[in-house]
Amino acid sequence: LRREQEVGKNGNERRHNMPDNQTNTKQNIQDKLLPYIQDAYAMENQIAETLEKQIDQTKDFPNVQAKIRQHFEQTKQHRARMENCLKAYGKDPSTIKDLGSSLMGNVAGAMAGIRPDKLSRIARDDYVTEHLEIAAYTLLITTARIFNDQQTIQAAEANMRDEVEMQRWLIEHMPEACILTFQKEGLTIPQDVQNLAQNPDPIFNAVNLNVGYTGGASTQM
């Protein structure tokens, strides 16, 4: 009965499991969904460049280098997934590559202070970047759900899974990055501080920070 009333009121039938016509128009997809996919593509493109440089910058720390190389490979996959989402709407990603520079430039600008070649700074910047990505994918997934774009939902979820794993690894290894940076500069590190490299829990527990730490930094730097 209720359905009949709606049909009568609108003069056409409404589909209840899909976004209605007013949401899922070509113009709305163009104006509201595509910018989030384009931002994600540009972001991944910029991060791939940064990570490629960091592979060289971390050559003195083979375990960090291996992790960054792994995330570089993942990031190229993330970019390809976003590219495929754009292509599904007939969009050519090559026209939007510059967007990422300004986005990431803002982050870099906020990060002045420590020289860029230091391991501690690389770890800090990458941790910030992962959270930028997590926020971007949360917005994208929510928007794609509004438009019921299953390909984009699944692609963004797959990407975000890697970002969550990477941010967790980074914060678990942040004390170790700090210690290794100072050791390389010749500082003597007290034993109790050195222990934080293997188990950073005292730092996180003191401030009630739940980083999803699972006990013992899983791989050494």
Closest to Fe ion by CB, 37 or 178: 37
Min. distance of Cβ 66 from Fe ion in angstroms?
Answer: 18
Would you call 116 helix, strand, or coil by DSSP?
coil
Q: Please report, for residues 4, 38, 50, 54, 200, the alpha-carbon distance to residue 122 in angstroms, rounded to integers and kept in the order given.
A: 61, 26, 10, 8, 18
Closest to Fe ion by CB, 155 or 180: 155
Alpha-carbon distance 22 to 38, whole Å?
23
Min. distance of Cβ 129 from Fe ion in angstroms?
Answer: 9
Min. distance of Cβ 176 from Fe ion in angstroms?
Answer: 23
Closest to Fe ion by CB, 38 or 181: 38
Q: Which residues bind Fe ion (CB under 5 A)?
A: 75, 78
DSSP string computed for 152-196: HHHHHHHHHHHHHHHHHHHHHTHHHHHHHHHHHTT----HHHHHH
Alpha-carbon distance 29 to 61, whole Å?
45
Min. distance of Cβ 77 from Fe ion in angstroms?
Answer: 8
Closest to Fe ion by CB, 79 or 118: 79
What amino acid occupies position 215?
Answer: G
Q: Which residue has the tokens 């910029």?
A: 46
Closest to Fe ion by CB, 75 or 181: 75
Structure tokens belonging to residue 208: 């009630």
Min. distance of Cβ 157 from Fe ion in angstroms?
Answer: 12
